[in-house]
Amino acid sequence: MEGDKRNDLIKACWEYLQTRMSVVKKAMEGLKEDLENESKSSAGDKFETGREMINIEWNKLSVQLNEYDRLGNILNRIQEYKPNGNVVLGSIVVTNVANYFISIPAGEISSGKEKFYAVGIKSPIARLLLGKKEGDKANFNGRDFEILKVI
């Protein structure tokens, strides 16, 4: 059952990534078309400015796509996760306040009827939780909570 929950959460994170990557790739295709149209119809300084703006936007989208690839690599590593009682990358952390999946920053996701917050390992809450175990208490943003379960 706990393995199913992890698989559900990983699947939801993959769906999040695929959606984001699809949007970026579609935008890049649009820029490619814009660049081809710019090349056919423009001349002079206006042409160079238009091409440069398209290149700047292309570079931004490339950075985003690379980041999504990096997050995909993290998800691949999480699939090999073996629970050891401590909160590490890949842990599902159930607290008396909220549930967390230490993975990638994908926001709120669900497994069955339960809600989880998929958070990246560098997020403030993940950094607070890392290394803790069941029964540990912590304070985040002035709110006390207890770790009920680490899966």
Calculate the average pLDDT of the chain: 90
Q: Give per-residue pLDDT as tens, 91-112.
A: 999 999 999 999 999 999 988 8
At residue 44, the pLDDT reads 53
Answer whether residue 47 shows pLDDT above 60: no
- Last-in-domain residue among 23, 43, 78: 78
The whole model's pTM is what? 0.85
Q: Parallel, antiparallel, or unpaired for β 92-95 and 99-103?
A: antiparallel
CA dist 117 and 91 (Å) reads 12
Neighbouring residues of 41: CB distance < 8 A, sequence distance ≥ 6: none
Q: Tell me, yes or no, whether 87 lies in a domain.
A: no
CA dist 70 and 15 (Å) reads 15
- Last-in-domain residue among 78, 109, 126: 78
Mean pLDDT of 52-77: 95
> Is 23 in the same domain as 72?
yes
> Is 25 in the same domain as 66?
yes
Answer whether residue 40 shows pLDDT above 60: no
